[in-house]
């Protein structure tokens, strides 16, 4: 099973994290949440927002290609890079991943409260 390394993020994961034995076929977001990395996920993992946007620093090529719907949402994400993915849609394959959670996210539900 692959390993996910989460780079430090001031609010979500200040010390960074290493998740051993991530289940193949599970979304990056679900694995992060199951391992106490509280990444935002305003649409409850349904590919309807950009709050779970991550940048895949290592292992990007092991992921399946993003769907057109995911690409449409990614176009709206803050800090978009060529290796950006919505973590709710990116399924873990057999390769280790290193991910960065962007400094900012666009969460209209949170901003209105």
Query: CATH code at 96?
Result: 3.10.20.30
Alpha-carbon distance 33 to 50, whole Å? 16
Q: What is the pLDDT of residue 110?
A: 45
Answer whether residue 113 is part of any domain: no
- The arithmetic mean of pLDDT across residues 78-86, rounded, is 95
Q: What is the pLDDT of residue 106?
A: 66
Number of H-type helices and E-type strands within the chain:
3, 5
Residue 76: which domain range? 4-105
Answer whether residue 110 is part of any domain: no
Answer whether residue 8 is part of any domain: yes
Instruction: Domain count for the chain, please give it.
Output: 1
DSSP 62: G
Answer whether residue 111 is part of any domain: no
Q: pTM of the predicted model, to two decimals?
A: 0.90
CB contact at 8 A, 107 and 40: yes
**pLDDT over 80 (residue 113):** no
| pLDDT bucket at 103, cuts 50 / 70 / 90 | confident
Q: What is the pLDDT of residue 64?
A: 95
């Amino acid at each position: 099973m692959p390993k996910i390394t989460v780079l430090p993020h001031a609010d979500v994961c200040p010390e960074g994290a290493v998740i051993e034995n991530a289940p193949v076929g599970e979304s990056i977001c679900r694995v992060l949440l199951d391992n106490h990395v509280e990444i935002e996920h305003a649409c409850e993992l349904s590919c309807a927002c950009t709050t779970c946007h991550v940048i895949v620093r290592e292992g990007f090529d092991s992921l399946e290609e993003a769907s057109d719907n995911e690409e449409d949402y990614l176009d709206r994400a803050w800090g978009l890079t060529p290796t950006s993915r919505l973590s709710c849609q990116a399924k873990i394959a057999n390769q280790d991943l290193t991910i960065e959670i962007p400094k900012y996210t666009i969460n209209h539900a949170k901003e209105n409260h």
